[in-house]
Amino acid sequence: MCPSVPLPSPCPPGILFPYSSPQLWGRAALQPPVLLPTQRRTFSNNKILVELDTSSGVATMKFKSPPVNSLSLDFLTEFCISLEKLENDRACRALIITSAIPRIFSSGLDIMEMFGKSTEHYAEFWRAVQEMWLRLYGSSMVTVAAINGSSPAGGCLIALSCDYRIMVENPKYVIGLNEAQLGIVAPFWFKDTFVNTVGHRVAERSLQLGLLHPVTEAHQIGLVDEVVPEEKLQEKAAAVVAQWLALPDHARQLTKSMMRKAVLDHMLAHREEDIQNFVKFISKDSIQKSLSMYMEMLKKKKS
Protein backbone atom coordinates (compact mmCIF):
# COMPACT_ATOMS: atom_id res chain seq x y z
CA MET A 1 0.00 0.00 0.00
CA CYS A 2 1.24 3.52 -0.73
CA PRO A 3 2.00 5.67 2.28
CA SER A 4 -0.49 8.44 3.06
CA VAL A 5 1.83 11.20 1.84
CA PRO A 6 0.87 12.33 -1.64
CA LEU A 7 3.02 10.41 -4.10
CA PRO A 8 3.15 10.78 -7.89
CA SER A 9 -0.07 9.26 -9.11
CA PRO A 10 -0.38 6.39 -9.88
CA CYS A 11 2.16 5.21 -7.33
CA PRO A 12 5.05 3.87 -9.49
CA PRO A 13 6.16 0.27 -8.92
CA GLY A 14 9.01 0.01 -6.44
CA ILE A 15 8.38 3.49 -4.99
CA LEU A 16 7.42 1.91 -1.66
CA PHE A 17 10.95 0.75 -0.96
CA PRO A 18 12.72 4.07 -0.56
CA TYR A 19 9.73 5.40 1.40
CA SER A 20 9.85 2.43 3.79
CA SER A 21 12.98 3.53 5.62
CA PRO A 22 11.74 4.87 8.99
CA GLN A 23 13.62 8.15 8.80
CA LEU A 24 11.94 8.88 5.47
CA TRP A 25 8.38 8.22 6.52
CA GLY A 26 5.84 10.96 6.72
CA ARG A 27 5.37 14.52 5.69
CA ALA A 28 9.09 15.09 5.21
CA ALA A 29 9.27 11.98 3.00
CA LEU A 30 9.09 13.81 -0.31
CA GLN A 31 12.41 15.50 0.32
CA PRO A 32 15.30 13.93 -1.63
CA PRO A 33 16.91 11.07 0.31
CA VAL A 34 20.25 12.81 0.81
CA LEU A 35 21.82 14.05 4.02
CA LEU A 36 21.03 17.73 4.28
CA PRO A 37 22.86 20.10 6.61
CA THR A 38 20.85 21.08 9.69
CA GLN A 39 18.49 23.86 8.74
CA ARG A 40 16.55 25.95 11.20
CA ARG A 41 13.52 28.03 10.53
CA THR A 42 12.39 30.34 13.31
CA PHE A 43 9.24 32.31 13.79
CA SER A 44 8.19 34.28 16.79
CA ASN A 45 5.64 36.67 18.21
CA ASN A 46 5.63 38.37 21.57
CA LYS A 47 4.19 35.30 23.33
CA ILE A 48 5.70 32.27 21.61
CA LEU A 49 8.96 31.32 19.94
CA VAL A 50 9.07 28.45 17.43
CA GLU A 51 12.18 26.88 16.00
CA LEU A 52 11.82 24.20 13.32
CA ASP A 53 14.75 21.94 12.48
CA THR A 54 13.86 21.01 8.92
CA SER A 55 16.43 18.22 8.73
CA SER A 56 14.85 16.27 11.60
CA GLY A 57 11.29 17.58 11.14
CA VAL A 58 11.13 18.55 14.83
CA ALA A 59 9.84 21.94 16.01
CA THR A 60 10.35 23.33 19.49
CA MET A 61 7.79 25.80 20.77
CA LYS A 62 8.67 27.96 23.77
CA PHE A 63 6.05 29.88 25.72
CA LYS A 64 7.50 33.28 26.63
CA SER A 65 4.71 35.36 28.07
CA PRO A 66 5.74 36.79 31.46
CA PRO A 67 5.06 36.65 34.28
CA VAL A 68 3.42 33.17 34.19
CA ASN A 69 2.47 32.21 30.59
CA SER A 70 -1.23 32.65 31.37
CA LEU A 71 -3.49 31.76 28.46
CA SER A 72 -5.00 35.09 27.50
CA LEU A 73 -7.03 35.56 24.32
CA ASP A 74 -3.93 37.02 22.64
CA PHE A 75 -1.79 34.11 23.77
CA LEU A 76 -4.35 31.52 22.59
CA THR A 77 -4.63 33.26 19.22
CA GLU A 78 -0.85 33.24 18.73
CA PHE A 79 -0.69 29.63 19.92
CA CYS A 80 -3.34 28.54 17.38
CA ILE A 81 -1.63 30.43 14.56
CA SER A 82 1.70 28.75 15.40
CA LEU A 83 0.07 25.31 15.56
CA GLU A 84 -1.63 25.86 12.22
CA LYS A 85 1.64 26.96 10.58
CA LEU A 86 3.43 23.84 11.80
CA GLU A 87 0.55 21.51 10.95
CA ASN A 88 0.56 22.82 7.37
CA ASP A 89 4.34 22.65 7.03
CA ARG A 90 5.32 19.42 5.33
CA ALA A 91 8.81 19.69 6.81
CA CYS A 92 7.41 19.43 10.34
CA ARG A 93 6.52 16.04 11.85
CA ALA A 94 6.89 16.64 15.58
CA LEU A 95 6.49 19.36 18.16
CA ILE A 96 8.07 19.79 21.59
CA ILE A 97 6.28 22.33 23.79
CA THR A 98 8.16 23.92 26.67
CA SER A 99 8.48 27.20 28.56
CA ALA A 100 11.04 29.98 28.46
CA ILE A 101 9.76 31.31 31.81
CA PRO A 102 11.63 29.93 34.82
CA ARG A 103 9.57 27.65 37.14
CA ILE A 104 6.30 28.00 35.19
CA PHE A 105 5.13 25.94 32.21
CA SER A 106 1.78 27.75 32.08
CA SER A 107 -0.45 29.12 34.84
CA GLY A 108 -3.56 28.11 32.88
CA LEU A 109 -6.35 30.23 31.51
CA ASP A 110 -5.90 33.91 32.19
CA ILE A 111 -8.36 34.54 34.99
CA MET A 112 -8.69 38.20 33.99
CA GLU A 113 -10.27 37.05 30.70
CA MET A 114 -13.06 35.42 32.73
CA PHE A 115 -13.65 38.26 35.13
CA GLY A 116 -15.75 41.41 34.74
CA LYS A 117 -16.04 41.16 30.95
CA SER A 118 -19.00 41.15 28.53
CA THR A 119 -20.81 37.97 27.48
CA GLU A 120 -19.46 38.54 23.94
CA HIS A 121 -15.93 38.56 25.31
CA TYR A 122 -16.50 35.36 27.30
CA ALA A 123 -17.85 33.64 24.16
CA GLU A 124 -14.87 34.76 22.06
CA PHE A 125 -12.43 33.70 24.75
CA TRP A 126 -14.01 30.29 25.19
CA ARG A 127 -14.05 29.64 21.43
CA ALA A 128 -10.29 30.34 21.45
CA VAL A 129 -9.76 27.88 24.31
CA GLN A 130 -11.73 25.25 22.39
CA GLU A 131 -9.78 25.98 19.21
CA MET A 132 -6.45 25.55 20.97
CA TRP A 133 -7.50 22.15 22.35
CA LEU A 134 -9.01 20.98 19.03
CA ARG A 135 -5.77 21.81 17.21
CA LEU A 136 -3.44 20.30 19.79
CA TYR A 137 -5.41 17.20 20.80
CA GLY A 138 -6.25 16.57 17.14
CA SER A 139 -2.75 17.29 15.80
CA SER A 140 -1.24 14.84 13.35
CA MET A 141 2.24 15.76 14.60
CA VAL A 142 4.00 13.87 17.37
CA THR A 143 3.57 16.19 20.34
CA VAL A 144 5.67 16.11 23.51
CA ALA A 145 5.20 18.39 26.51
CA ALA A 146 8.56 19.19 28.14
CA ILE A 147 7.13 20.53 31.39
CA ASN A 148 9.74 22.70 33.07
CA GLY A 149 7.58 24.26 35.76
CA SER A 150 4.19 24.32 37.41
CA SER A 151 1.23 23.66 35.19
CA PRO A 152 -2.20 24.17 36.74
CA ALA A 153 -5.60 23.83 35.00
CA GLY A 154 -5.37 25.09 31.39
CA GLY A 155 -1.59 24.57 31.54
CA CYS A 156 -2.20 20.96 32.50
CA LEU A 157 -4.71 20.67 29.63
CA ILE A 158 -1.99 21.65 27.17
CA ALA A 159 0.29 18.93 28.55
CA LEU A 160 -2.55 16.38 28.57
CA SER A 161 -3.30 17.15 24.92
CA CYS A 162 0.19 16.08 23.86
CA ASP A 163 1.18 12.49 23.07
CA TYR A 164 3.80 12.32 25.84
CA ARG A 165 4.66 14.31 28.96
CA ILE A 166 8.10 14.70 30.51
CA MET A 167 8.35 16.80 33.67
CA VAL A 168 11.34 18.26 35.45
CA GLU A 169 11.92 16.78 38.90
CA ASN A 170 11.52 19.63 41.36
CA PRO A 171 9.61 19.39 44.65
CA LYS A 172 8.15 22.88 44.08
CA TYR A 173 6.47 22.11 40.76
CA VAL A 174 2.83 20.98 40.60
CA ILE A 175 0.44 19.93 37.86
CA GLY A 176 -3.28 19.14 37.74
CA LEU A 177 -6.78 20.32 36.97
CA ASN A 178 -7.41 22.47 40.06
CA GLU A 179 -10.57 24.21 38.79
CA ALA A 180 -12.64 23.05 41.79
CA GLN A 181 -10.27 24.98 44.07
CA LEU A 182 -11.23 28.16 42.22
CA GLY A 183 -14.93 27.38 42.66
CA ILE A 184 -15.27 26.56 38.96
CA VAL A 185 -15.70 23.31 37.06
CA ALA A 186 -13.49 21.63 34.47
CA PRO A 187 -15.62 21.31 31.31
CA PHE A 188 -16.43 17.84 29.95
CA TRP A 189 -13.65 17.86 27.36
CA PHE A 190 -10.98 18.80 29.95
CA LYS A 191 -12.34 15.90 32.01
CA ASP A 192 -12.37 13.50 29.03
CA THR A 193 -8.78 14.39 28.12
CA PHE A 194 -7.77 13.77 31.74
CA VAL A 195 -9.68 10.48 31.99
CA ASN A 196 -8.06 9.27 28.75
CA THR A 197 -4.67 9.82 30.36
CA VAL A 198 -5.03 8.70 34.00
CA GLY A 199 -8.22 6.61 34.03
CA HIS A 200 -11.63 7.25 35.56
CA ARG A 201 -11.00 6.68 39.27
CA VAL A 202 -7.85 8.76 39.53
CA ALA A 203 -9.47 11.53 37.47
CA GLU A 204 -12.63 11.54 39.57
CA ARG A 205 -10.77 12.01 42.85
CA SER A 206 -8.27 14.48 41.43
CA LEU A 207 -10.98 16.61 39.76
CA GLN A 208 -13.37 16.67 42.72
CA LEU A 209 -10.59 17.75 45.07
CA GLY A 210 -9.03 20.09 42.49
CA LEU A 211 -5.66 18.52 43.21
CA LEU A 212 -2.34 19.96 42.10
CA HIS A 213 0.00 16.99 42.14
CA PRO A 214 3.67 17.25 43.01
CA VAL A 215 5.88 15.81 40.26
CA THR A 216 6.53 12.39 41.85
CA GLU A 217 2.82 11.88 42.49
CA ALA A 218 1.94 13.05 38.98
CA HIS A 219 4.30 10.38 37.68
CA GLN A 220 2.78 7.71 39.93
CA ILE A 221 -0.76 8.37 38.71
CA GLY A 222 0.31 8.49 35.05
CA LEU A 223 -0.33 12.20 34.62
CA VAL A 224 3.25 12.54 33.44
CA ASP A 225 5.11 9.77 31.66
CA GLU A 226 8.64 10.55 32.79
CA VAL A 227 10.49 12.69 35.30
CA VAL A 228 13.98 13.99 34.56
CA PRO A 229 16.49 16.49 35.98
CA GLU A 230 16.16 19.95 34.40
CA GLU A 231 19.42 19.63 32.42
CA LYS A 232 18.23 16.40 30.78
CA LEU A 233 14.81 17.66 29.68
CA GLN A 234 15.55 18.72 26.10
CA GLU A 235 17.73 15.69 25.43
CA LYS A 236 15.01 13.37 26.74
CA ALA A 237 12.30 15.10 24.73
CA ALA A 238 14.40 14.76 21.57
CA ALA A 239 14.95 11.05 22.27
CA VAL A 240 11.24 10.44 22.81
CA VAL A 241 10.38 12.27 19.59
CA ALA A 242 12.96 10.21 17.67
CA GLN A 243 11.39 7.00 19.01
CA TRP A 244 7.89 8.06 17.93
CA LEU A 245 9.10 9.34 14.53
CA ALA A 246 10.71 5.98 13.76
CA LEU A 247 7.25 4.70 12.92
CA PRO A 248 5.45 5.38 9.66
CA ASP A 249 3.49 8.63 10.09
CA HIS A 250 0.28 7.32 8.57
CA ALA A 251 0.09 4.32 10.93
CA ARG A 252 0.81 6.46 14.00
CA GLN A 253 -1.58 9.20 12.89
CA LEU A 254 -4.46 6.82 12.16
CA THR A 255 -3.93 5.14 15.54
CA LYS A 256 -3.88 8.51 17.32
CA SER A 257 -7.02 9.57 15.50
CA MET A 258 -8.76 6.30 16.43
CA MET A 259 -7.87 6.78 20.12
CA ARG A 260 -8.97 10.44 20.28
CA LYS A 261 -11.81 10.62 17.76
CA ALA A 262 -14.72 10.01 20.14
CA VAL A 263 -13.68 12.81 22.49
CA LEU A 264 -12.94 15.25 19.65
CA ASP A 265 -16.22 14.43 17.87
CA HIS A 266 -18.18 14.83 21.10
CA MET A 267 -16.79 18.31 21.63
CA LEU A 268 -17.32 19.32 17.98
CA ALA A 269 -20.94 18.17 18.16
CA HIS A 270 -21.52 20.26 21.29
CA ARG A 271 -19.23 23.20 20.58
CA GLU A 272 -21.84 25.98 20.50
CA GLU A 273 -23.71 24.53 23.47
CA ASP A 274 -20.41 24.39 25.39
CA ILE A 275 -19.80 28.08 24.66
CA GLN A 276 -23.29 28.97 25.86
CA ASN A 277 -22.76 26.89 29.03
CA PHE A 278 -19.45 28.61 29.71
CA VAL A 279 -20.89 32.11 29.22
CA LYS A 280 -23.87 31.35 31.46
CA PHE A 281 -21.71 29.76 34.14
CA ILE A 282 -18.93 32.33 34.24
CA SER A 283 -21.35 35.28 34.24
CA LYS A 284 -22.99 34.17 37.49
CA ASP A 285 -22.40 36.55 40.39
CA SER A 286 -21.34 33.70 42.66
CA ILE A 287 -18.70 32.53 40.15
CA GLN A 288 -17.41 36.06 39.58
CA LYS A 289 -17.10 36.40 43.37
CA SER A 290 -15.15 33.12 43.61
CA LEU A 291 -12.73 34.25 40.90
CA SER A 292 -12.29 37.62 42.56
CA MET A 293 -11.50 35.95 45.90
CA TYR A 294 -9.04 33.61 44.19
CA MET A 295 -7.18 36.51 42.56
CA GLU A 296 -7.09 38.27 45.93
CA MET A 297 -5.67 35.14 47.49
CA LEU A 298 -2.93 35.00 44.83
CA LYS A 299 -1.99 38.61 45.51
CA LYS A 300 -2.02 38.15 49.32
CA LYS A 301 0.25 35.12 48.97
CA LYS A 302 2.88 37.47 47.57
CA SER A 303 2.79 40.01 50.39
Ligand X SMILES: CCCCCCCCCCC/C=C/C(=O)SCCNC(=O)CCNC(=O)[C@H](O)C(C)(C)COP(=O)(O)OP(=O)(O)OC[C@H]1O[C@@H](n2cnc3c(N)ncnc32)[C@H](O)[C@@H]1OP(=O)(O)O
Under the rule (CB under 6 A), what is the footprint of ligand X? 67-68, 70, 104, 107-112, 150, 152-154, 178-179, 182, 184-185, 187, 277-278, 281-282, 295, 298-299, 302
Cβ(292)–Cβ(285) under 8 Å? no
Nearest approach, Cβ of 65 to ligand X (angstroms)? 11
Q: Select 88 or 286, whichever has its Cβ closest to ligand X.
A: 286
Q: Select 179 or 192, whichever has its Cβ closest to ligand X.
A: 179
Nearest approach, Cβ of 187 to ligand X (angstroms)? 4
Residue at shortest CB range from ligand X: 108
Nearest approach, Cβ of 291 to ligand X (angstroms)? 9
Q: Select 91 or 153, whichever has its Cβ closest to ligand X.
A: 153
Nearest approach, Cβ of 54 to ligand X (angstroms)? 34
Nearest approach, Cβ of 216 to ligand X (angstroms)? 18
Residues assigned a catalytic role: 109, 154, 178-179
Q: Select 108 or 138, whichever has its Cβ closest to ligand X.
A: 108
Q: Select 43 or 281, whichever has its Cβ closest to ligand X.
A: 281
